[in-house]
Structure 1
Amino acid sequence: MSNAVAVVTGASGGIGEQIAVGLAASGATVIMVARSYERLSRAAERVGHAFPGAGVEIDPVDLGDLPQVRALAERLIARRPSVVVSNAAVIAPLDDRTPAGLHRTLAVNHLAPYLLLRLLAASPPDCARRFVVVGASPRGLARVPVDLDDLNAETRRGLGWPPSFRPFVAYGRTKNMNAMFVYAMASRLAGTSTTINGAHPGIIKGTGLGRHSRGALKLFGSTLNLFTPASDVGAETPLWLATDPAIEGVTGSFFVDRTATGTAPHTTDPVRIESLWRASARLVGMPADDVAPGADYRGR
């Protein structure tokens, strides 16, 4: 990774910060992206203190604002990163809407990486390039298939009970979108020097995902944090996907504990994957067919 440029979103703490630490240790110049300038600056200082002399930069961006994501992509294209780790995620209240009317969870967790990585993929890299999308537990997500007719959680159909858990179910749907996006993008990038894979970091404390939780969900999260490992453990598999020479050329797979793992059938169905791709393209204002699928979907 010496002299390489690597990008990590959601890098102002938790798993994202630990991924940035690992990338800095490998010799890469790390561009840390997150919404809060203050938190991002403090995280960059911690990474710099851990590895004096490491190239660490910050780029404050609200990933829920798609014009800001486009501007970020333009800046990054000029830097030609060889690694991009999409780690940013949020569990937002259902009434938390962006200026464009998008549920913030959908915008940050799915549409931002969809838009960012598609724009970066359109610019040929100087060398082999890896995209890594941080998802969630395939086993848990099997129970929350994406509602392709209600991506924006407007009807709140099927989000279950109690109401305090509904933002968490909406979050789970976006994590299934992450896996579906990985499979669709890998198909389109087949035969190129860019790979894309997904990873479950594990159930990790200190991610900040539950900061908006209320009621039963807040109690559930607080209890879970008593028994879960710290963010450095969660960074292990995404960092391995970003850096390990042994997986050069591996693409279109989802990993748990560094092991390729199947995701639910509703995430690997080609018709559902294409439907999500096209709906996402409409939401971000991109053509759906600028790059056609180049191979069978690799998801298992």
Structure 2
Amino acid sequence: MSRELAVVTGASGGIGEQIAAGLARTGATVVLVARDRGRLNAARERIAGAVPGADLETEPVDLADLAAVGALADRLGERVPSIVVSNAAVIAPLDDRTPDGLHRTLVTNHLAPYLLLRRLAERPTTAPRRFVVVGGSPRGLARVPIDPGDLDPGNGRGLGWPPSFRPFTAYAHTKNMNAMFVYGLASKLAGTRTTVNGAHPGIIKGGRLNRHDRGALKVFGSLCGLFAAGTATGADTPLWLATADEVEDVTGRFFVKRRAVETAPHTTAPERVERLWRESARLVGLPA
């Protein structure tokens, strides 16, 4: 019998590694995607040690490189994954640009999952599929609406004060984009057997998200870490969405601690969701 194929981005540690291990325990073939080949192989060894008989593959791909993401979509699309968990995220300095000239946080956190999941969604299949996007806190993100016509934060506009916090605000914008993308893709896939849902993992310690923090943001991150939960807690809701029978037909929702919650009106307004879809398509080179 062929195994179910699952894909997890940002799987070289933290929440992503925990999600991948949980999927491996279901008997699925799990493709681990991350930028650093060494850390990716180390995660594969840890999962193999924790889950005897795990069927694991690695895809060392920099999700900030849109050409590489497109090539990954081509490779995976031939195999039609039944589960894809988009988990990878960074908080990069505002001057950190990708080969396409875009901000690394924007590309890694939003444009890469937009390109990957959209390309996979366009592959015809009659089998059920689940797409899960790991987002951010609906309550916290309510205060930082995006401008759907100006996604790149490199100019620093609208990112507030102090300057050391601006990379975090740019990250928060991409987390709102994640929720809006969930709603947009779910709407376009309505009536199919593919579900799309978002999840907030909580404030989690044990990852590398804050490795570029400086100044006041570094102090803030350290304080948050004192009260943060572990990576297993953060992985729980995304893994549940990817596997649980009770959400098999649920789509277009956002979950916190396994409960569906409402996100801010600026993330659900259909015209804003559609504007984000179209601008994202333009930036990745796809038709709207």
Which interval holds the TM-score relative to the shorter structure? over 0.9
For the pair 1:269 / 2:269, whether they are aligned, the reply is: yes
For 2:160, the equivalent position in structure 1 comes to 160
User: What SS class does the counterpart of residue 278 from structure 1 fall into?
Assistant: helix
> What is the deviation of 1:208?
0.8
The correspondence of residues 1-300 of structure 1 with structure 2, limited to 5 A, is 3-288=3-288
> What is the deviation of 1:222?
1.3
User: What SS class does the counterpart of residue 59 from structure 1 fall into?
Assistant: strand
> What is the deviation of 1:126?
5.0
> What is the deviation of 1:157?
1.4
The one-letter code sitting in structure 1 at the alignment partner of 2:141 is L
> What is the deviation of 1:226?
1.5
Unmatched runs of 5 consecutive residues or more in structure 2: none
Q: Contact between 1:80 and 1:126, CA under 8 Å: does it hold in 2?
A: no
Q: Deviations over 1:191-242 (max 9, x none)?
A: 0010100000001001211000000101111121121111000000000000
User: What SS class does the counterpart of residue 211 from structure 1 fall into?
Assistant: coil
For 1:298, the equivalent position in structure 2 comes to none
> What is the deviation of 1:277?
0.4
Q: Deviations over 1:105-164 (max 9, x none)?
A: 000000000000000001123510000000000000001101223211133111011100
Q: Contact between 1:6 and 1:31, CA under 8 Å: does it hold in 2?
A: yes
Q: Could you list the structure 1 runs, at least 4 aligned residues long, displaced by more than 6 angstroms after superposition.
A: none
Structure 1 Cα separation of the partners of residues 38 and 231 of structure 2: 20
User: What SS class does the counterpart of residue 100 from structure 1 fall into?
Assistant: coil
Identical counterparts, % of pairs: 69
Taking a change above 3 Å as real, the CA distance of residues 131 and 223 of structure 1, as seen in their structure-2 partners, is same
Unmatched runs of 5 consecutive residues or more in structure 1: 289-300
Q: Contact between 1:91 and 1:168, CA under 8 Å: does it hold in 2?
A: yes
Q: Deviations over 1:249-299 (max 9, x none)?
A: 1100000000000000000111111110000000000000xxxxxxxxxxx
Structure 2 Cα separation of the partners of residues 111 and 227 of structure 1: 31
Structure 2 Cα separation of the partners of residues 154 and 240 of structure 1: 35
Structure 2 Cα separation of the partners of residues 222 and 150 of structure 1: 31
> What is the deviation of 1:79?
1.8
The one-letter code sitting in structure 2 at the alignment partner of 1:55 is D
Structure 1 Cα separation of the partners of residues 153 and 9 of structure 2: 24
RMSD: 1.1
Pairs aligned (count): 288
Structure 2 Cα separation of the partners of residues 129 and 149 of structure 1: 31
Structure 2 Cα separation of the partners of residues 164 and 176 of structure 1: 20
* TM superposition score normalised by structure 2: 0.98
Structure 1 Cα separation of the partners of residues 10 and 126 of structure 2: 25
User: What SS class does the counterpart of residue 30 from structure 1 fall into?
Assistant: strand
